[in-house]
Amino acid sequence: MADEQGRGRGRGRGRRDDRNEEQSELTDKLVGINRVAKTVKGGKNFGFAALVVVGDQKGRAGFGKGKAREVPEAIRKATEDAKRNLVRIPLREGRTLHHDGKGRWGAGKVLLRAAPPGTGVIAGGPMRAVMEVLGIQDVVAKSNGSSNPYNMVRATFQALKEQASPRSVASKRGLKVQDIVARRTDGASEADISETA
């Protein structure tokens, strides 16, 4: 029985080690830090709120927030929260988006556009941090409305979650990838013909 327990523990430890290795590959970026106050009977309790984005630069990213009395502790809490909320985003050629996308959260609106190689990350502030931890190398992004980093990060993730790879679209429709790609190019050529005529 001791052997069984030992083996069970060993198996669990192995999984935990894999998870730790996976987590150690993650890069994190501090997007914003705010001084916050809570009014209590004796006066005000001051603390800090941190917003952090985390990603593996291979198509997985997440964001989290944390509050604490000290800055390092707030950042640690935010990083842990972000690691728990990772999402996978399909990337084209591992460097850009498959198609354009729009996202909105509150008054923050973002527009993301796929870009050709060599364009770089044309995005500002919180959106740039998300793109960098995600591993996107070529993208053009524009934000309208609120510049609140919390809203911008959430709107960016909403736009990214709408991304669909040709493979996933093909599997949903029960077709082959070539059929979808061929249709898209055929549709473009028809549009070109109608414009020239």
For residues 132 and 73, state if they share a domain: no
Report the CATH number at residue 148: 3.30.230.10
Residues 116 and 182 in one domain: no
- 94 shares its domain with 142: yes
Q: What is the pLDDT of residue 24?
A: 60
Give the CATH number for residue 59: 3.30.160.20
Task: Check whether residue 174 and residue 132 sit in a common domain.
Answer: no
Torsion over CA: 165, 171, 173, 174 (sign): positive
Residue 156: in which H helix or E strand, if any? helix 149-161
The reported pLDDT for the residue numbered 190 is: 44
Alpha-helical regions (H) of 49-147:
71-84, 125-134
Host domain of residue 175:
166-197
> Inter-axis angle of helices 125-134 and 149-161, to 10 degrees?
40
How many structural domains are present in the chain? 3
User: Is residue 113 located within the same domain as residue 160?
Assistant: yes
Tell me, yes or no, whether 12 and 57 share the same domain.
Answer: yes
Measure the CA–CA gap between 169 and 171, rounded to whole angstroms.
Answer: 6
Check residue 77 and give its pLDDT: 95
pLDDT along the chain (197 residues), means of 10: 48 53 76 93 94 91 94 95 91 85 91 89 89 90 91 92 81 77 53 42
Rounded to whole angstroms, the Cα distance separating 2 from 9 reads: 10
CA gap 144, 125 in Å, rounded: 13
- Burial classification of residue 21, based on how many CB atoms lie within 10 Å of its CB (0-12 exposed, 13-18 middle, 19 or more buried): exposed
Which of 70, 87, 104 is the last residue in one of the domains?
Answer: 87
